[in-house]
Structure 1
């Protein structure tokens, strides 16, 4: 891999901001969506595993690895729903990309922003196969840290005319409205979940509470709706009831992980129609008629981190963004690591 023996590239929050500004938010989303589609389309080339999760009463800390024959990637990420009350983010993350041939790390990157980007982009990739092509309205339940990313990703692919939104926190709704006030679509704050999802073409559930919930009844949802359910992402944390799940077509990212963490932890594998890669590779149909209610149970999978890490690595090289730091020893004799300590004293 080119650059495998050079200094490791470091991408900070500021670097990601510069990168998005350099190419534009819409184009950045399109590039990430394209990378996701390419990687899900070569599913059999990857070495895959569920993430390693360490659970605590107040949250979870996870490692998420994924590799092909050229690149190895992993992400460190947490999920602490109580953090916002302490002035901290619910989710923070750091990612690493390495060269498989040498084992040398190529890049360490912030991944708090990138996790929000790739989660939203994955929802759009699923929607390309599962939502109605003429979808014009989105309803989002939960207007926390990831909500604007979700809406802007869908706006990069669909011609959205209106976005209805609801949160139990009025301040979060005000923040959401301010951040998206300059967009072309209409913003409609709602007083309830039922009001928000009424006749919506696309519904996004993005709540953070670590508990069993039942946000929707099937009667709330219009025929033909696509649901991107992304809030249920660990054992014991769901947004929809088993009864609801039994009345929709279910698609997941990676069954061994989603059965433990997703909405479908309440079900069995027999209830799941497909994994996302099967739709991308055209092994199974996506939407088959305009009245199907289809739910994408999105818990976040390491392949998505792999995709966005390789995108930002290429963009960082193209636009000369980021720093290169001497994080890897370079002794004259590879067998004389101790000699670096001796040379440092002169």
Structure 2
């Protein structure tokens, strides 16, 4: 396993404001709950959306019934959402591509669509993890696979079902400043607020770390600990995330917004959170668990290795990793968090 994260700044490609597309037609790759919810949200903002899924029968049913019966059956697809199962046709000529797949699938799909993405088109990761093979941030993996594109990242406290129902939701889109602002304006609607940020590293670290911290909070709740315990883990988890963002060249300040504190508050307190529910089930086998993909569990070993290599204090990430490797019991994992001391951060580290 690599012991440090390969962080690459996205190239500007010599772009100017006049090179920015208008984002009239966008594609969402992944017709699960999150991808479908994003497609609905973007359509409400006035975009035409091609929603791609690999199962041709499922996509045909979705086009006919105007519903995703497998994931979000209670919400009709807007007329401007076009279900499609041909990957090349889904991507060809569109103004932006959103990859709403688990992090382990982002690199492979980026490789497949590389020749179909038009020059300067944004390709946006909507997954919260590291590339499992290269251990890169997902935007770096996308940029490597599709050099003519501009890699970006979308994240925030956003349960798919609530987004699809039109519950007020705020997310961030991270990337080059003017492009991010134009994307945010194109995607924002009355119920889906998109905030532009330039800190690709900090925004992604927030998304990666919140999944790990959510497992720890779920374990604590599954053991029957109270709100004090959960709040302590959440706060110290935010500190860990901020320290890692600083070490990798991002900004701790980014984590004070919806991409950090907001996402943590949601993922660490609500049973709708997959990673929180996973942690709770580890401590209490009687707790309900229906999901099968847990980004925090997939990422935590890499996160612990990266933090160790960077000299960043990682008591929570490494304790969760040890628990998943069965080197610690859930009880011992929680107890260890209250014996460790996070190193104080200097004022310069937050600037």
Fold match, TM over 0.5? no
The TM-score, its normalising length taken from structure 2, stands at 0.33
| Larger helix proportion of the pair | 2
| Larger strand proportion of the pair | 1
The TM-score, its normalising length taken from structure 1, stands at 0.33
